[in-house]
Structure 1
Amino acid sequence: MKKVLIPVTNHATLGDTNQANGTYAPELTHVIHELNVAGVDYDIASINGGKAPLYGTDIAGDDVNNTIIADEGFQSRINNTIPVQQLNVDNYQAIFYPGGFGLLTDLAKNEDFAHLSAKHYEEGGVLAAVCHGPAALLPITLSSGKPLLAGISVTGFTREEEIDFGTINDIPFLLEEALARKAARYSKVQPWGNFIIEDKNVITGQNPSSAHAVGQALVKKLT
């Protein structure tokens, strides 16, 4: 059975504020839904392991989110994430980074996951990320010494969306700017529109409404 590694943040607040945060649940659950439908397994990991912080777990009318959140298998994985030091990346065919603001504080600069992702990518694996998830691609350096993003077109959460969401003054850094400076090309559509980019073996989605399409694109790569 194909298997996807899902690294999530351990950081439970928005930047240095006391606002509860972590991984934004719908960006995780909508992709997991697609994996489940396709019969693709997954593990959830984090830098430190253990219970990972989630927010957006009770969104009215989001049946996919509610169903996955209520699933015992999912709860077991999210409450007992695998520490990065215990991972063997050779066991996975893809790595998926869901968004949420938490990872701007840890995964966006974590060298352990960056090394695993570089090895995985150079051996033909797929990398996927949505919303703020592409921040985890920033520290990935290939064996050539070049940043992964230097040769890749990507999207990610936009400045306009940060303003709309009321987070522009609290985020550790502006993801759009960081991606635009490092990636071969950064592209976006109107705020909150469904938009994904596939370039080589990298799939990125702009915002929460793009998670479903990222999941579908990921499954298509694996099946």
Structure 2
Amino acid sequence: MDIETMKKILLVLTSQDTLGDTGEATGYNVAEASHPWKVFRDAGYFVDFASIAGGQPPRDEVQEDDPVQVEFTQDETVKASLYNTPRVSVVDPSQYDAVYLVGGHGTMWDFTGDADLQKLIASVYDSGGVVGAVCHGPAGLVDVELGTGVALLSGRKVAAFTNAEEKAVGKQDVVPYLLQDKLEEQGATVKLADNWEENVQVDERLVTGQNPQSAAGVAKEMTKLLTEVVREQKAGEEEAAQKLRAERDAEKAAEDDE
């Protein structure tokens, strides 16, 4: 992955359109997609979209009083991209500097346990990329195993939609599990803020947020990490170039002595 030249971020969306067997509609959270999209785009990154099942992913209601959500839903490039998203299973992870898991209750049914999503996340992280997730998006981090054989969540400090927030929206008996509990079972330490307060946690190249209010903050921290990765890459390239020059100079000096 050549982070310096590619500068691409993949946003992954749920394909689940109902809350279990309740018949109640759901989908990806528009605020959690739109605000990071704007942060990434304004930072100069190309943004692509993918979903678990492909096609046009379902979405929750748009808050018309939020200009960023309105801009997102009216942007022609975004509309074209979301009209027929690729399945996660066909995405080439080497094409992306980062992957960001958009939240929404639907993720609780189709993010967790999806082997293709797990492989995508692990591949991006293992190659030096950044992984981000917000609200219910961390459901996609469950059971992700890195190339080292260690679970991505093991020993991590993370944020996600809390048990208290799930109870506040009355979905604690609807979702297949409570996300906070599941992340803790995976060996993560879930850092809690009050309901609906912004809470962003950074642990190495993993960035997570608690709720929709944290979405833009997650994206900002991801762009900071990507800048650091590019800086480290350039430093490594310069070090290699200096070493090569020194070797060539030594060879030339040896030839001159002969």
Q: 1:106 aligns with which of 99, 103, 110?
A: 110
Unmatched 5+ stretches in structure 2:
1-5, 228-258
- Structure 1 distance, partners of 2:46, 2:22, is 35
Q: 1:23 aligns with which of 23, 28, 38?
A: 28
Letter in 2 for 1:170: V
Q: How large is the Cα RMSD of the aligned pairs?
A: 1.2
- Contact kept, 8 Å, 1:122 with 1:142, in 2: the verdict is yes
Q: 1:92 aligns with which of 92, 96, 99?
A: 96
Other-structure match for 1:182: 186
Partner SS, residue 49 of structure 2: strand
Other-structure match for 2:67: 63
Letter in 1 for 2:55: G
- Structure 1 distance, partners of 2:28, 2:10, is 15
Q: 2:86 aligns with which of 63, 78, 82?
A: 82
Partner SS, residue 4 of structure 1: strand
Q: CA deviation at 1:125?
A: 0.8
1:1-223 paired onto structure 2 within 5 Å = 1-57=6-62, 59-223=63-227
> Structure 1 or 2: larger helix share?
2
- Structure 2 distance, partners of 1:40, 1:33, is 10
- Structure 2 distance, partners of 1:163, 1:66, is 29
- Structure 2 distance, partners of 1:183, 1:128, is 18
Letter in 2 for 1:135: A
Partner SS, residue 117 of structure 2: helix
Letter in 2 for 1:56: E
**Identity percentage over the alignment?**
36
- Contact kept, 8 Å, 1:129 with 1:204, in 2: the verdict is yes
Partner SS, residue 54 of structure 1: coil
Q: CA deviation at 1:218?
A: 1.5
Partner SS, residue 108 of structure 1: coil
Higher RCO (CA 8 Å, separation ≥ 6 residues): 1
Letter in 1 for 2:31: P
Q: CA deviation at 1:87?
A: 1.2
Partner SS, residue 109 of structure 1: coil
Q: CA deviation at 1:118?
A: 0.8
Letter in 2 for 1:15: G
TM-score for the superposition, normalised by structure 2: 0.83
Residues paired across the two proteins, number: 222
Segments ≥4 residues shifted beyond 3 Å = none
- Contact kept, 8 Å, 2:129 with 2:226, in 1: the verdict is no
- Structure 2 distance, partners of 1:180, 1:16, is 26
> Structure 1 or 2: larger strand share?
1
Write out per-residue CA displacement over residues 90-143 of structure 1, whole angstroms, 9 at most, x where no aligned residue.
010000001001111111110111012112111111000000001100021122
- Structure 2 distance, partners of 1:35, 1:16, is 35
Write out per-residue CA displacement over residues 18-74 of structure 1, whole angstroms, 9 at most, x where no aligned residue.
1110101100101001011111111111222111011122x1321111111111111
TM-score for the superposition, normalised by structure 1: 0.95
Q: CA deviation at 1:158?
A: 0.5
